[in-house]
Every structure is written in C-alpha cells, then in structure tokens.
C-alpha cells in the first residue's frame, strides 16, 4: 500500500488551528468527487495492533488554560488535593481528536477558558491521549475504545473517591474524541450526565453498530454538532448520521460560511491538494468554535429547529417552536425526550458571534387568469424598528406557480427589530422587470381593493427567534402605476381589512 495518501490525510486535519473569516463561498461544485479517505479502507482493524494506550488527565486552571500544571492520577488520592479538585462543582472532560503534530491544538485552551468563563468553580480536565492520537488514522480510530475504557476507569475512580454526582459530569469530545467520550460513557459503572460530540469522526464509524461509536445510550443526554459531513463528495471528515439525542446540523452540516472550500479547490491545480488543508480544518473545527461561542455569548446563542431535511429547512418550513421543535445550539442545549434521534438545523454567520435571525415568508401568488409557471428572481427588503436588510434575493427552488403558497427562508445577520414594512421586486432571468407576471400575480394592483381579494394581498412572515407571526398587506395606492416593486405594510385588522 502506498504511504503518501495517508500522510496527506494527516495534513488535512493537522495541528494548526485555523479560524476562517473570508467571504461566504458559493456551493462547492458537485463535479468534485475525489474520495480522500479511500486509502483508509485498506487499513482494516484486523490488520492493525494497538499497543500501550495511555490517557493522562490534566486539571487546568482558569489563569493558565493552555498549561498542564497538575495531573490527576487514578489510584493516587493525594493528586486530587494537590490539583485542588472541587468536589461540589461541575466537572468537564475535554477530549481532543486525531492529531499529527503530537501537540494540543489551540482550540483546547480556548475551550478551557470559555468553560471557566461560564462555570467559574468548575473542574476542567483535559484528557491527553496524544501519543496514540498522532498515529495513522486507522490505528488512532481503533484505539478510541481502549482510551474510552481508561477514561471510564478514571470516572469510576473519581466518583468513588469524591462522591461527585455524575449528572454534573460533562464529556466534550471533538473528532475521534467524541467516540472516546462515547466509549467512556458506555464503560463507566454509572451513567454520566452529558456527552457533547463536536463533529464526531466519520471514517470507520459511519454506519456501524451503536456500540461501536458514540450513541444516545452513552449518557443521560448526548448532543452533537455536525459541521463537515458532506458524504456525497466522498470528503466527509465528520459523521453524517445522527448519533445523539439531539443532532444539530449548522448550515446543513456540510459547508460553513467563511471557510471558502471552493476557493481552496481552485488553488489545487497550482498548489496541490495541500491547498485544501486550511479550508477543511475550518469546516471541521467550526463545531468547536460554535460551542465556544455558546459559552461566551450566552445571550446571543443560536437557535436550531427540528426538520425532516435540510432542503425543507432552507425553504423556511420548520421555524415553529411548539412541542419542543426548537433548541439552543451549544452549551445550553436541552434534552428532548423522544424515542429516536432528532435532527435539527440552523444557519450561522461566518464568524463569532455566529447567531443569525431566521424568517419564513409565505407568499401566495393568486391570480384570476390562466398563467403558466415562471422562474423569476425575487428580491425583498425588510424594514424593522432597529434597522433594515435590503435587496435580499430569495432562493426560489423550482418554479413559481400561481394560486399556490410558496415558502421562503430569509436570514439576517443583524437584529432589525419588529418588522414594519416589506418591499418586493420580481425580475426575469435577464434581470428585466416581469411586467406581465406582476400584472397577473398581483392582479389587485389595478385598484380593486375589495375584501374578497384580501387573501391574495397578504404575505405571512414568521420570525424564528421570537416566534412572532405577522401578516403584511399590499400598501394601498388608488392611482398607482404598474411597477416591478411593490410595498407591503402590517395588516391592522386580521382578515377584515387592509386599510391603514
């Protein structure tokens, strides 16, 4: 077997932290189907022998989140006192993933500091299994079970020595570390309170039995963030299937804003495949930074919405929060009691704070005459009490059909406050106003404002973050000329009149 593809894979998720803040990229071309992980199939667990796996447990301090000053050693009770372990506070185990450099990645210290900023009296313990994690991926992946057993032994010992309630124990694992956390939870004598999986590793774990990976059985509550699970490209570093009680897929769980994976692809011809390293790390590691963001920006935590598919979410069809259909992304996520895993979706910005505001626009293009389907460009502007977002192009999936209600998702990075007015413009593919479509789709623009036409003049808008639902009516203009842009204002009476 050739060695260079495996060495390249090391570099894909190397030890250099990259926080990308470039402009939001376009969707990656579906013609790129190179499977970078194909060589791993030749490294089956039966052909690899695991030796000498050892995990160390460093209790880090708020003042020095990046230094290992004190190790708690199972079997040595005096190490608990030496490290000032707080028996009444929450305890976090931070578990890193696959590495190449043999060093901790910089996100570890950032996560430690963020945990202490939120839980000042907590014990934040970094699980160090670097000696094994820096091996070939297949060996490191196979070692997760053994490392998990050692972490479980540590949990059992510390519970016995300190009588800490395990509902205060929270394991946070990234990449392979998420599966280490899962094995630890399954092997521990008593069930731990929570496991958070940050983009759990996909290769060697996708599609396997629940006992061979992170699963909902491993803790009272298992929540997962999926940020790089683009399985259709053969480039899925993170696991795609749901593996927790709540599985959240920011931006569909595939491409994250600001990571510019498409830009990296354009550089491959000149710089080689290594040009993709930073972009891939940005996608994969975004899960960690979303969790850190939720700790540091508690008041601006992102909200996720339960939905059957990413496509339905992108049409704005899943913004209702009734019956536990919403959850908070990151640290404040809550368990939803259901028999099976719950898939949830959200949109984010390209940089911290990641929270955005979601709006569903439901528009019925009702006409009285026969009108064929059309594919226009629809641009809207929203005006609120705190600001506005203008010239936002709606994602028209398919054709616009008259006499049918269409749903759209609109996302703003800023909070524009309570909506007051909306403007809409329709153009054809050549960017010319669609006069015929306007005159048909808005047949009421001819001055007929009878209440029998009211339903055709309304647009329903739901705000995901506040759950407010508003109706907007066409602004009256008795002698208005035909225009490609029309204005809607809040309806002052529900279903009776649209007069202001």
DSSP state, 375? -
Per DSSP, the residues of 434-500 read -HHHHHHHTGGGGS---GGGGGGGEEEEEETTT--EEEEEEPP-TTPPP-SEEEEEE-SSSSS----
In this structure, are residues 486 and 442 in contact, taking their beta carbons and an 8 Å threshold?
yes
**How many angstroms separate the CA atoms of 105 and 384, rounded?**
42
d(CA 470, CA 491): 8
Query: Which residues 6+ apart lie within 8 Å of 310 measured at CB?
Result: 249, 252, 253, 345
Q: How far is residue 219's CA from residue 239's CA, in Å, rounded to a whole number?
A: 19
- Written as six digits, the tokens of 441 are 């789709």
End-to-end CA distance of the chain: 75
CA distance 127 to 94: 6
218 labeled binding residue: yes
Residue 213 labeled ligand binder? yes
Going by C-alpha positions, the residue among 144, 67, 50 that lies closest to residue 112 is: 67
The set of residues, in sequence order, having a beta carbon less than 8 Å from that of 171 and lying 6+ positions away, is 92, 93, 95, 151, 181, 184, 185, 192, 194, 195, 196, 219
CA distance 449 to 499: 9
Q: How far is CA 486 from CA 399, 401, 422, in A?
A: 21, 19, 9
Q: What region does 175 belong to: left with phi over 0, alpha with psi -120 to 50, or beta?
A: left
| Binding site feature residues | 213, 218
| Binding site feature residues for Ca(2+) | 213, 218
């Amino acid at each position: 077997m050739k060695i260079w593809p495996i060495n390249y894979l090391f570099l894909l998720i190397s030890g250099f932290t990259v926080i990308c803040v470039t402009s939001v990229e376009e969707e990656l071309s579906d013609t790129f189907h190179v499977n970078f992980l194909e060589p791993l199939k030749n490294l089956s667990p039966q052909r690899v022998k695991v030796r000498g796996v050892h995990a160390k447990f460093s209790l880090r301090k708020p003042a020095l989140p990046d230094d290992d000053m004190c190790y708690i050693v199972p079997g040595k009770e005096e190490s608990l006192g030496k490290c000032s372990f707080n028996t009444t506070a929450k305890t976090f185990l931070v578990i890193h993933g696959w590495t190449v450099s043999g060093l901790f990645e910089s996100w570890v210290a950032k996560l430690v500091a963020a945990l202490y900023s939120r839980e000042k009296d907590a014990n934040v313990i970094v699980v160090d299994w670097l000696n094994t994690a820096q091996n070939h991926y297949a060996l490191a992946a196979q070692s997760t079970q053994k490392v998990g057993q050692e972490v479980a032994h540590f949990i059992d010992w510390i519970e016995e020595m300190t009588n800490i309630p395990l509902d205060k124990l929270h394991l946070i694992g990234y990449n392979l570390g998420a599966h280490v956390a899962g094995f630890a939870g399954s092997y521990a004598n008593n069930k731990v309170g929570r496991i958070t999986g940050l983009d759990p590793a996909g290769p060697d774990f996708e599609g396997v039995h629940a006992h061979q990976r992170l699963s909902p059985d491993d803790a009272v509550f298992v929540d997962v963030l999926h940020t790089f699970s683009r399985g259709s490209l053969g480039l899925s570093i993170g696991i795609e299937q749901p593996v927790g009680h709540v599985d959240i897929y920011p931006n569909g769980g595939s491409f994250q804003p600001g990571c510019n994976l498409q830009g990296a692809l354009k550089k491959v011809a000149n710089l080689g495949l290594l040009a993709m390293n930073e972009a891939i790390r940005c996608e994969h590691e975004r899960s960690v930074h979303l969790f850190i963001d939720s700790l540091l920006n508690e008041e601006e935590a992102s909200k996720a919405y339960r939905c059957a598919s990413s496509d339905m979410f992108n049409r704005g069809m899943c913004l209702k929060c009734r019956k536990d259909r919403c959850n908070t992304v990151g640290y404040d996520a809550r368990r939803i009691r259901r028999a099976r895993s719950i898939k949830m979706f959200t949109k984010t910005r390209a940089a911290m704070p990641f929270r955005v505001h979601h709006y569903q626009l439901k528009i019925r293009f009702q006409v009285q005459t026969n009108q064929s389907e059309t594919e226009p460009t629809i641009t809207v502007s929203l005006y609120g009490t705190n600001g506005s977002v203008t010239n936002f192009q709606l994602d028209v999936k398919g054709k616009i059909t008259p006499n049918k209600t269409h749903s759209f998702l609109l996302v703003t990075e800023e909070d524009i406050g309570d909506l007051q007015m909306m403007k809409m413009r329709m153009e054809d593919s050549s960017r010319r106003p669609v006069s015929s479509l306007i005159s048909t789709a808005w047949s009421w623009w001819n001055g007929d404002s009878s209440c029998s036409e009211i339903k055709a003049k309304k647009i329903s808008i739901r705000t995901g973050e506040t759950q407010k639902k508003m109706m907007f009516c066409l602004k009256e203009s008795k002698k208005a000329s035909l225009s490609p842009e029309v204005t809607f204002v809040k309806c002052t009476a529900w279903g009776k009149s649209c007069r202001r």
